[in-house]
Amino acid sequence: MERITVVKIGGNVIDDAAALRRFLADFAAIDGAKILVHGGGKLATRLAQRLELKVEMVDGRRITDRGMLDVVTMVYAGLVNKQIVAGLQAAGCNAIGMSGADGDLVRARRRAAAPVDYGFVGDIERVDSALLGRLLEAGLTPVLSAIMHDGRGTLLNCNADSVASALALGAARVAPADLVFCFEKPGVLRDADDPQSVIGEITPADFAALRAEGVVSGGMLPKIENALKAVAEGVRSVRIKHAADLGDPAKGTTIHG
């Protein structure tokens, strides 16, 4: 394999059926080996509210008690994952839907309860790069939800950006890997209300300043944190962009180590 492209798609695009179809067609058209990681947070939130479960977020990360774990597993690893796989098959991409537990592909550990108790939330421990390579060499495109496992029978809800970063690092041990975070904005914006205010490049120093200024907050924090970690540890390139711009390499924000 000359390269592996890892793409993460956010929940806002998944919520828009037409946008999702366009994205899946563009993803299927990417040359070479590829991996898709998806979120699906809005659908899980709506279902949780219908079930009268408490929905709570801290710094862009979901608090996951036992009831919420059941919901996100059903939504992420079930409904959303299989809808995406079916859409990719229709677009001519031979996709295989997976959680981290499938094939023991990705293991995580439950996050410590201090300073914030996130419940059944995990941090990635390892990725089986050899299995990843075998799947890709077989012509399959893994589609990963953010549901991982701890190897002892417990499922864990992981941040999808963290999963994408870990998979890109795992893929980089097989072939040069590029990571793309796709969502509903054209990149990291200096002004959240101005789509023309895309920040072209972000370094670790830039990120610290943007965070201190409040320009970057909420769900964008783990996205950039994981992008910086990926480039620092061996991923060839990381970009953050609008899902509609997946096929345009010049669009979005580039993350530098």
How large is the average pLDDT for residues 129-138? Answer: 98
Check: CB of residue 204 under 8 Å from CB of residue 238: no
Between vectors from CA 167 to CA 164 and to CA 170, what angle results, nearest 5°?
A: 155
Phi-psi label, residue 248: left if phi above 0, alpha if psi -120 to 50, beta otherwise: beta
Section 147-172 average pLDDT:
95
What gap in Å lies between CA 239 and CA 257, rounded to an integer?
Answer: 12
SS3 at position 64: strand
Report d(CA 182, CA 84) in Å as an integer. 15
Write down the pTM of the prediction: 0.93
- Provide mean pLDDT across the span 171-192: 94
CA distance linking residue 76 with residue 83, whole number of Å: 10
- The full set of domains in the chain, from first to last, is 4-182 (3.40.1160.10)
**The pLDDT value given to residue 40:** 82
Candidates 210, 180, 203, 177; CA nearest to 257 is 203
Q: Which token pair is 245? A: 């711009």
Continuous segment of H or E residues that includes residue 4: strand 4-9
Mean pLDDT of 47-70: 88
Torsional class of 182: left (φ above 0), alpha (ψ -120 to 50), beta (otherwise): beta
Rounded-to-5 percentages of helix, strand, coil across the chain:
40, 25, 35
* pLDDT reported for residue 222: 81
User: Residue 14 has which token pair?
Assistant: 């998944």
Q: How does the average pLDDT of the chain come out, rounded? A: 93
